Amino acid sequence: MILNLRVDHRLLHGQVALSWVGFLGADCILVANDDVVKSNLRKATMKMAKPNGVKLVMKNIEDSIGALNNGVTDKYKLFIVVENVDDAYKLIKGTNDKIKILNLGGTDKNENSEELSAAVFVDQNDKDQLKELQNNGVDVTIQQVPSEAKKELSI
């Protein structure tokens, strides 16, 4: 069962590993990212941040979609973490809108981005994708930590 899909440009770190995993009751974290699977250093960093007793899986976006669609992840209470809005969009669309919850926790700022919160910045492409997801029934919220109130995305 997919508990949550989170966009966090830092991927797996203390806030995600401890706060979110415990809050959600997740027993498996899927880091869906094309670059992490190619970097031994980034993979090692993710493994060090993983909480004890929680399974960690790292797959590229295409393989993540395949795993979510073929049911291999169904036995887990799954928390998915991606690096950016585009990856979240690809996962949701690639799984035929099976994912209905998207948490924006932190995104990189660039020269074309607009600030939605202290840690969330989106450009026009992100806004278009998020609006489409919302129109298709995905609950998109901004929330850095579970103790913080959720802010519904309004674009």
Distances (CA, A) of 40 to 30, 49, 64, 119, 147: 17, 14, 19, 27, 33
Residue with tokens 């670059």: 35
- The one catalytic residue in 10, 13, 42, 127 is 13
Residue among 61, 140, 138, 127 at smallest CA distance from 98: 138
Asked if 9 is an active-site residue, the reply is no
Three-class DSSP category at 95 = coil
Given its phi and psi angles, is residue 65 left (phi above 0), alpha (psi -120 to 50 degrees) or beta? alpha
- d(C-alpha 30, C-alpha 55), whole Å: 8
Residue with tokens 């998207």: 102
Beta-sheet pairing, 151-152 with 139-142: antiparallel
Q: What is the DSSP string of 24-37?
A: HT-SEEEEE-TTGG
The residues that are catalytic are 13
